Amino acid sequence: MAKKGQLFLVKVQNASKYMSKLKLVVVFMMAPMLIFAQQNDIWDLQRCVTYALDNNISVKQSDIQARLDALSLKQAKSGQIPTLNFNTQGGYNFGRSVDPTTNQFTTNRVLFQSYGLQTGVTLFNFFKLQNDIKSKKIESESSQQDINRAKSDVTLNVAAAYLQYLLAKEQVNIAKGQIELTTNQLELTKKQVAAGALPELNAAQLSAQLATDSSTYITNQTTMEQNKLQLLALLNLSADTPFEVSLPDVDKIPLEPLSELEPGALYQNALNTQYQQKVDSLKILAAQYAAKSARASMYPSLSAFGSVGSNYASSYMTQSGSFPYTDTIGSVNINGQNYYTTAQGQIPVYSKAGYGKQIFDINLSQAVGLTLNIPIFNNRQSKTAWEQAKLNVTNLELQQEQNKQTLQQDIYKAYTNAKSGIEKFNANSKGASYAQYAYHLAELRYDNGMLSASDYLVQQNNLYTAKINQVAARYEYIFRLKVLEFYKFNHINL
């Protein structure tokens, strides 16, 4: 039996040596990470939120949509301005063709060119244009509010991810403290085993516990890195960006009293302050004006037009002069005397008209007029568009009602979670205090050989679990209260 005991002691000592080497390896691997962390730039919540608002993809997309709507508004306003278009055409005709200046067939080769300037403006269309402008203007305002909504969502998401990262770091620190606690106890136990005060089993159980604590530490470290990656994604930063957050004093984080965050009052306040509610109201108003604009398409419209045009053809001939002539057209004999009848006239002389003469004088034409368009039947397009616009208004009103219900549910749910979170934190704080006291008593009894290693480890694990639950409950109730503060103030502050 003595040999078996000695053999078991040797195994325990070998296991202890292995765990010591493992600790050295872990410390060696962590050292560069600690040095690197010291070199990282420190980010607090305000900096994270500010950076996210400038770089988050969702915010950028909302900004692009706002600019698109602003362009649509500019286009709608431009509908009040007369249109002006200029066109020109030139070419060379050969073979049998029509002379563009005389509209006569010719076989001559003709070099031609034409110009045209047209303008038009809508005089009255039953306020279709005015309602369209109002609709586009309100849509543009809605897009601006949607940017604020996107920023608001990003702020809340960044705050949640930031607190999750802080929680993970706290859990890593607790796990690290657990390793130190187990390590110190293992070293003490090894000395007591060597002195014969404690059985070898105690050292073996503590060695196994140290391995378990190391595994828990690695798991918590992985969770912390995952939470960090989630926060980096919200900031639109690459995963390899040097990054570290500041650790605020949790006890000094300002928290609004729960009594000041009554859900009914928060809901009424949120209806006037939350950007989503503003977006919904503006979208409905814009859709109502769009429906009025669509209805105006079924009524007559009056517009004015004007045009100036001219053309040139190389074959065009114009009279450039004349010369007189006298022609005998008959004679009469009176009493044997012949009298001749003559006619005098002018023989025209033609020559090709010059380019400028044709364009600015001979072929220049102008026109002004009014156009009355009366829709009679257009395959029901106008009426269908109007009916669709009315249904769109109804759909947006239903969406607004749905969003109001969701907002109310979210606020009451957040209040319930905050209330239970505070109670949960208080309960876990008491549990951690009792667990700390129980561990202290267990440690004294274990050191005096009055408690087995397994019973000691039970108390140690209970203390670890109590600390983890306490810190998790603390961050949970902080976040729950911050959500309620967000509905009240539209921002989050740590």
Q: How large is the average pLDDT for residues 130-144?
A: 97
φ/ψ of 180, rounded to 5, equals -65, -40
Q: 464-474: per-residue pLDDT in tens?
A: 999 999 999 99
Tokens of 455: 């019973």
pLDDT > 90 fraction of the chain, expressed in percent and rounded: 65
Domains of the chain: 2-77+128-299+379-489 (1.20.1600.10), 93-124+301-316+353-374 (no CATH), 318-352 (no CATH)
Which residue type, as a one-letter code, is found at position 278? K
pLDDT band at 22 (very low <50, low <70, confident <90, very high): very low
What are the C-alpha distances in Å from 371 to residues 127, 182, 376?
Answer: 17, 94, 16
pLDDT > 70 fraction of the chain, expressed in percent and rounded: 91
Tokens of 158: 């960044």
Structure letter (DSSP) for residue 248: -
In the block, which residue shows the tokens 């694990």? Answer: 461
**What burial class does residue 367 get, using C-beta atoms within 10 Å of its C-beta: 0-12 exposed, 13-18 middle, 19+ buried?**
exposed
Tokens of 120: 């038009």
* Statement: residue 379 has pLDDT above 60: yes
- Least confident window among 309-313, 350-354, 358-362, 379-383: 350-354
Q: Where are the extended beta strands (E) located within 148-285?
A: 244-245
Q: 36-91: per-residue pLDDT in tens?
A: 444 457 999 999 999 999 999 999 999 999 999 999 999 999 999 999 999 999 98
Within 10 Å of residue 465's Cβ, how many Cβ atoms?
A: 14
Q: What is the pLDDT, as a whole number, of residue 101?
A: 64
Compute the distance between CA of residue 460 and CA of residue 438 in angstroms, rounded to an integer.
9
Compute the distance between CA of residue 182 and CA of residue 194 in angstroms, rounded to an integer.
18
Q: What is the pLDDT, as a whole number, of residue 345?
A: 82
Q: How large is the average pLDDT for residues 400-419?
A: 95
Q: Where are the extended beta strands (E) located within 110-239?
A: 110-124
Contact present, 154 and 160 (Cβ < 8 Å): no
- Indicate the average pLDDT of the chain: 87
Q: What is the pLDDT, as a whole number, of residue 40?
A: 54
128-194 helix and 275-296 helix, angle to the nearest 10 degrees: 160
Q: Classify the phi-psi angles of 205: left when phi > 0, otherwise alpha if psi is within -120 to 50, otherwise beta.
A: alpha
Q: Are strands 244-245 and 42-43 parallel, antiparallel or unpaired?
A: parallel
Structure letter (DSSP) for residue 197: S
Q: How large is the average pLDDT for residues 269-289?
A: 95
Compute the distance between CA of residue 283 and CA of residue 173 in angstroms, rounded to an integer.
49
What are the C-alpha distances in Å from 16 to residues 349, 448, 456, 488?
Answer: 127, 22, 19, 57
Contact present, 453 and 201 (Cβ < 8 Å): yes
CA atoms within 13 A of residue 429's CA, in its CB half-sphere = 9
* Statement: residue 29 has pLDDT above 60: no
Contacts of 127 by beta carbon, 8 Å cutoff, 6+ apart: 292, 296
Using DSSP's 3-state secondary structure scheme, residue 295 falls into: helix
pLDDT band at 394 (very low <50, low <70, confident <90, very high): very high
In the block, which residue shows the tokens 């060695």? Answer: 207
Compute the distance between CA of residue 37 and CA of residue 172 in angstroms, rounded to an integer.
15
Compute the distance between CA of residue 73 and CA of residue 78 in angstroms, rounded to an integer.
9
Structure letter (DSSP) for residue 252: G
Contact present, 193 and 9 (Cβ < 8 Å): yes
Structure letter (DSSP) for residue 467: H
